[in-house]
Amino acid sequence: MDRRPEVSTRDRAILIVRLATVGGLAGALGLTWLFSNLAEAFFSGRAPAAQLPPVVPVAAAPVQKAPPVVQTIVHHSGYPPSSGGAAPRPPSQGPAAAPAPPPAPVCHSTPSKPC
C-alpha cells in the first residue's frame, strides 16, 4: 500500500505536463490564427495610392551683410603713459652651467661575471 500515493502523484504530474503542452500548442495556434487574420486585413498586397508631395512655397534666399562696426575714439587729457617697468627686461645673469655627469656604475663582481 505504500506505492499507491507515489503512483498517483506521478500520474498527476504526467497529466499536468500533458495539459500544459496541449495548452501551449493551442495558444500558439490561436496566436498564429490571430496574426494571419490581422496581416490579411491590413496588408492586402495592393500598392498604396500615390500621393503628391505637399506644395512648399519657395522663400527668397537670405541676403547676408556685414554687421555694423562701431569705433569709439576716446581722447584723454594729460600726458601719455610712460613705459617705466611694464615692459619685460632681459635676464640679469647668463645661463647656468650644465650639471655634472653621473658617476660611473659600481662594479659588482660575481664568480660568473668578473669586473
Give Cβ neighbours of residue 109 (< 8 Å, ≥ 6 apart).
115
Q: Which residue has the higher pLDDT, 66 or 49?
A: 66
Tell me what pLDDT residue 51 has.
85
Give Cβ neighbours of residue 115 (< 8 Å, ≥ 6 apart).
107, 109
**pLDDT (mean) for 5-22:** 94
pLDDT in tens, 51-109: 888 898 888 888 888 889 999 988 878 766 665 556 677 778 888 888 999 888 888 78
Q: How many residues does the chain have?
A: 115
Q: Does position 39 have pLDDT exceeding 70, yes or no?
A: yes
Q: Does position 28 have pLDDT exceeding 80, yes or no?
A: yes
φ, ψ of residue 32 to 5 degrees: the values are -60, -45
**pLDDT (mean) for 24-34:** 97
Q: How far is it, in rounded angstroms, from Cα 87 to Cα 73?
A: 25
Tell me what pLDDT residue 20 has.
97
Q: What is the pTM of this model?
A: 0.36
For residue 18, what is the enclosing H or E element? helix 4-42
Half-sphere exposure of 103 toward its Cβ, with a 13 Å CA cutoff? 3
Tell me what pLDDT residue 16 has.
97
Q: How far is it, in rounded angstroms, from Cα 8 to Cα 14?
A: 10
